Amino acid sequence: MLSEQRIPVAEPGASEAGKFQIVLSAFAAGGLDVGEFSAVLYTAVPAWDRQDEAERSLVLLLDDWEHETTTAGGAEIAAAMRRAALGASGADAG
């Protein structure tokens, strides 16, 4: 049913990396809020010294978001996180 709506779903037996790519795409598209995404990110992201540039960018942005005290600032950081997730997911913005 989700596939019919063009919502990506993990196939049975999908790898953790494959599942994370689906979550990343859903977050980039606005289907998940930052709190929901952060729960998955924290369990999927490797240790700091093993992160790639995209993973590190998302971790740093999430840290900024968690420490932001204004609604407007939080919204700006969330938008930057979605852009980073879009790039990391390999999806085309256009």
User: pLDDT tens digits for the chain (94 residues)?
Assistant: 556 656 667 778 878 888 888 889 889 988 899 999 999 999 999 999 999 999 999 999 999 999 999 999 999 999 999 999 999 887 655 4
| Cα-based angle 35, 41, 42 (whole degrees, multiple of 5) | 95
14 to 17, 18, 22, 31, 74: CA distances (angstroms): 8, 6, 11, 20, 33
Give me the count of residues in the chain. Answer: 94
What does pTM read for this prediction? Answer: 0.82
Q: Which residue has the tokens 């490797």?
A: 46
52: left (phi over 0), alpha (psi -120 to 50) or beta: beta
The phi, psi pair for 58, rounded to 5°, reads: -65, -40
